[in-house]
A and B are shown apart, each in its own frame.
Chain A
């Protein structure tokens, strides 16, 4: 890459150290570019939803650098606190004995960084090295993260909290996160993308963009989020609360009413800002854990599918999904709906839907629903004319039969 501007000429009187400073300044110059970076988007989404985020990543892969950028993008002052070198009293407040403790009580004095944060009214509080903090410090941090209180001070709403931790395997003498503390965070696995690192060392880092919430979508987003979470939890009551039993999952995300509420908020933010499903998947799985998170996402996919009753009401204008597995799910749903309330008109409508599916997509998807639907026929129902068009489907099925 050609350098357009000539390098600044050091003044004649410069000491060697001044020259070094100039070189360092040149090295520190870097540009940013817009780039789809899912983990950065997930981080900004969770931060804008005002949920505490915990970044898990090996040492030295740029967690701190990402935070510095995020603070720049959000225009928030960054306060970094290395949790492992602080004492519990730095978070719960230092007891200062006054004139007459029996009358006045013992106030818990907050540390200076907390005072500065409160005075600024906004900021990004970065708690680094969380997993190497001793248990007593973690217990004190609980209050900071959950109640946003440090000693007698309450962090103003403009302050966002992000923490970072090294995974157990690489933290030589790390303590694992206690389940109550783990449950309060959105856990994001931070890994480096080879291209991003190479491009960044070349001088261009990806830019963090805050999700833009669309005011007209807010009401729908809340309704959608409530429907998604409640729909799953009604069907799967066991998912509401599952303390991590197995060793692998300790210290990570697990489902509880609290983390489901966080999930609800994240979905609403994702819908209102039009964030991609990939980003949503990352934050949801980081909040309630992989299994429950995937179940929620899978049931949300099903929520997007057309309602069988709507399709049956007007099969002529029905639009079926392109993707084979989703189309199959819709057709199965239609047949199930007919089975639930068998009527001649609904049965006929289902046949015309199957014909439509057969005309517009792979024929093998239609075979199983067609044979199930045929079995639902009552004696007095007349076979519709459209069924003639499905003869090919029957032949397809026979072709398989012959091949067996």
Chain B
């Protein structure tokens, strides 16, 4: 019995028609007929192994769903993510890889089907283990173990492209028609481009993937830290060289003019938006962060001050402990009063923590400005505030 290729390719055509933005990925898959594969499986070189009997017994619409499912494993780089997870948590053995396969399937299946694409029979979804939808594979992996609940999933096998464990049917890197890492990136890039080019008809899961495919999300702590650090350390404050007084090396090198290293501790002023819309937990963690950074770059406690600000700036006093700042306020915000009060303390850096629902000062203050922005989701007909001005370095928090 040979494979009903026509049916398989008709299914691919159906998949391409219902998910046009995945066309490049679907067409890039190279079909290999294999009798050892239970259903359909992919390897890390973008080959797709297909069982002829599976093609025979599965309707075209469901086959189309399987096509998209398998391509999703590769697009979302599941095998490499599994390998990284396995190394980080020292997981070994086929049992763990099966768990990864299940978690990867959860990540795909919770949003890939519907809207013209049939869900294949037996597709596993997070609800089966009473888990919530919309998580990443790594998050699912922390939430369940193999047990009686998962016994029904043991037949699952999406191949080494899904969970990173080599199978006996894999043709390996030297086999024909494999894609190199660069070619794989190029395919991913084309798909991401066609998603961001026409986002209207694309599910939220795929949009998020396209946004993050080549720009992984960064932890805001690092970014806020980097922004504050570079604002503090650029000339004018911090540790730098000066010809203002002689270097200690000068004594041994007569006739040579050397600069000396001089520290001028930075004066940092934090403006905190205390309008009703910012939660205490968000604020607390951000302020502790800023205080810690300022300390590591040599700031002294008496040089950090904090204002809480709603429609009026409330308070100026040295920041002794982050927990000590009394946040008075609530209601609307006008950060302009906060900036005006902050500038009067002649700081080197102003850090404003806000949700952005405020008017901004019209002119650039005479110090570096970092804005930590708590993102807010806006309803379509909501009032959308103006974004922070160009002269501030903006870090989105949360």
Contact = CB atoms under 8 A, between A and B. Distances in A.
A87 B258 contact: yes
Contacts of A234: none
B187 interface: yes
A367 B13 contact: yes
Contacts, number: 153
Contacts of A362: 5, 9, 12, 27, 31
A95 B256 contact: yes
Interface string A260-291: 00000000000000001110110000000011
Contacts of A88: 241, 259
Nearest to B29: A324
Contact of B218 (A89, A247, A363): A247
Interface in A354-403: 362-365, 367-368, 392, 396-397, 399-400, 403
A295 B14 CA distance: 28
A403 B10 contact: yes
A168 B219 CA distance: 12
Interface centre among B9, B253, B394, B395 (most CB of A within 10 A): B9
A93 B239 CA distance: 21
B28 A323 contact: yes
Contact of A363 (B9, B25, B227, B258): B9
Contacts of A75: none
A137 B60 CA distance: 65
A149 interface: no
B30 A400 contact: no
Contact of A294 (B189, B230, B258): B189
A403 B59 contact: yes
Contacts of A24: none
B226 A364 contact: no
Contacts of A134: 233, 239-241, 261
> Interface of chain B, helix or strand or loop or mixed?
helix
A304 to B, nearest CB: 11
B136 interface: no
Contacts of B137: none
Given A136-B240, A290-B215, A278 B180 contact: yes
B258 A94 contact: yes
Contact of A399 (B60, B87, B296, B394): B60
B181 interface: yes
A96 interface: yes
B186 interface: yes
Interface string A292-310: 0011011001000000000
Contacts of B309: none
Nearest to A250: B226
A366 to B, nearest CB: 10
A97 interface: yes
B189 A364 contact: no
**What 5 pairs across the A-B complex have the smallest Cβ distances?**
A324-B27, A364-B9, A403-B60, A364-B13, A325-B28
Given A248-B215, A294-B185, A364-B10, 18 more contacts: A88-B241, A89-B258, A89-B259, A168-B222, A168-B226, A250-B230, A277-B180, A277-B183, A278-B180, A290-B214, A295-B189, A298-B186, A323-B177, A362-B5, A362-B31, A367-B13, A396-B13, A400-B17
Interface of B: 5-7, 9-14, 16-17, 23-31, 59-61, 87, 116, 177, 179-183, 185-187, 189-190, 214-215, 218, 222-223, 225-227, 229-230, 233-235, 239-241, 247, 253, 255-259, 261, 296-297, 393-395
